[in-house]
Structure formats: structure tokens, C-alpha cells
Chains A and B, each alone.
Chain A
Amino acid sequence: MKKGIFSGLIAVTAIMLIGVIMLTSSANIKNSGSENIAQGIWEIKKEWNNARYLLDKATTDALADSANTGPCTFALDAAKVQHYYMDTIAHIPGCTQAFTVAATAQAGNYQATGTITCSKKISNDFSIKKFEKPAVFTKTVSVQKDMPAAGDCTVIITDAQSGLVEISRVV
């Protein structure tokens, strides 16, 4: 047998061993990074959902507060809705909103349409992930005077998408 063949075989084995270790380590690092990114994306979507929930409730709140208690009438106050949106979204850093609210063809129905965008810097990745999706809130507003002359004015806000009465308030 030629001299040095075993040393040569061992050298080749050693190189292969180093290669396998490097590939395994690299795969582990990539796997760990993927988990962090997945967790980050989950967090962004969680915040987007929370922002959507808050803006939905803010729509109801703003519409209820737009009722004119004296004559017991309702007129959409778009500026008030926007103001409520701005104050609400400020509670969730990293999320922004762009909504417009208008009356729909169906009497008493008001619809807010727009987009919620949430972004977050993912740890161990150093990139900013963004999640943007449109949202629609449709509410039915009803104001009624229990007694025509001097009775109380009742404001009822119903979520048109779920049919749930969200506010039934005597104002």
C-alpha cells in the first residue's frame, strides 16, 4: 500500500466532518432565526387585530356621541369620528389607520372603510415587517324619542355586520 494513504483518508474524513458540522450549525441558526421571524409576524397580526377591534368600537362610540340630544336627531360628524380614531390608534405603537366614514345607500347605515397598517422591528432579524389590510365597519344608527313632546332621546347603535346592539343609551 502506498505510504500516506491512511493519513490522506483521515484528512478527507476530517474535512467532511468539518463540512457537516458547519452545515448543521448553519441550519440550526437559520431555524432559530425563522422562529423569531414567525413569532414577530404573529405579534404584528395580533396588534393589527387589536387595532381593528379598537377602531370598530371607536366608530360606535363616535357615532353615539354624534347624536344631537336636543331635537333627538342624528347627523354624521366625520371630524369627530376621525378624532376618535386618532386618539384610539395612538394606544398601539406601530399601527396607523386611514379611514373615511360616510352614509350608505341604506337609511341609517354608516360605513367606515379604510386600511390598518402595523409594522414591527423583528429581533435577531433587524428588518421591519409590515402587515397592511383593509377593514370595514358598518353601523346602523337609530335615534328615537320615547314621548313626542318632552321625552327622553334614545340612541341605538347596532353593528350591521354582526347584528349586535352595541349601544342603547338614553341621552
Chain B
Amino acid sequence: MYGENKTGKGFVFSTDAALGIIVVLIAAASMTMLYAPDSSWQKIFQSTSRSMADSAVVGFYMNKVPADMGLETEIPAAVKQGYCGRIYDYNADNGAPGIQSAPMDRNYCGGI
């Protein structure tokens, strides 16, 4: 072992201590992997979906269609992971007196 003298006794640290370090490092690596937060992909999707959700709300209340906000009415087929924000609209002036209008859902979707 590095640092040992001819007698085999450690003057910097002993073989047992070196083995101890290896065990601690393996344990540390295992714990880091075990308790690691969300993967980077999840982080990216979480951030992107939040942005899409904001766009959906702004688009809806500004009376914009999904395309105006860079979104679509359905989750695009070519994405790895998609998001859809569903917001209900209500047309009170449906031109049918005495009959209640039905809320209609409007989807603002996207993905990455």
C-alpha cells in the first residue's frame, strides 16, 4: 500500500482506513443515486409544461386560438411528452332563448 514503510505499518493511513474510504465512497455514491431529485428530462418537461400552461391561460382569456399561442388543439404526435391545458368556454349568447348554453372545452396542447 502506498505510504507503507518496510514493516507494513501505515504512516499516512492504514489499509483498513483505505478500505473504509472505499466503502464510504460506494455508500455515498449509492445514496446520491437513491435520493437524487427528478432527472433532467423531467425538470425540462416540468418547466416547459408550466410555460405551456401559462400560454394556454393567457391565450384563452385573450380569446386566442391555440395556434396563436404556438400550441395545438391536440398533443402533437411527434413529441416525447405532451401537455394539454383544458379551459372551458361559455357562449351565453347562443341565440337560443330559454335554452342554457353548454360550456365547451378548449384545449391548448403542446409537447417536447
Chain A residues near B (Cβ < 8 Å): 6-7, 10-11, 14, 17-18, 21-22, 25-26, 28-29, 31-32, 35, 39, 42-43, 46, 49-50, 53-54, 57-58, 60-62, 64-65, 67, 69, 83-84, 87-88, 91-92, 155, 157, 166-167, 169, 171
Contacts and interface: CB of A to CB of B under 8 A. Distances in A.
A interface secondary structure, majority:
helix
Nearest to A155: B97
B99 A7 contact: no
B12 interface: yes
Nearest to A80: B100
A153 to B, nearest CB: 10
Interface of B: 10, 12-14, 16-17, 20-21, 24, 27-28, 31-32, 34-38, 46, 50, 53, 57, 61, 85, 87-88, 90-95, 97-101, 103, 105
> A50, A83, A88, A155: which has the most chain B beta carbons within 10 Å?
A50
A62 B100 contact: yes
Given A6-B17, A10-B21, A61-B92, 18 more contacts: A6-B10, A10-B20, A14-B21, A18-B27, A21-B28, A21-B31, A22-B31, A22-B35, A25-B36, A29-B37, A49-B57, A53-B61, A53-B90, A57-B101, A61-B94, A64-B92, A84-B100, A169-B93
A88 B103 contact: yes
A14 B24 contact: yes
Contacts of A35: 46
Contacts of B16: 7
20 contacts: A6-B13, A7-B20, A10-B20, A10-B21, A18-B27, A21-B28, A25-B32, A25-B34, A25-B36, A26-B35, A32-B38, A39-B46, A49-B57, A50-B88, A54-B88, A58-B100, A64-B97, A91-B88, A91-B103, A169-B95
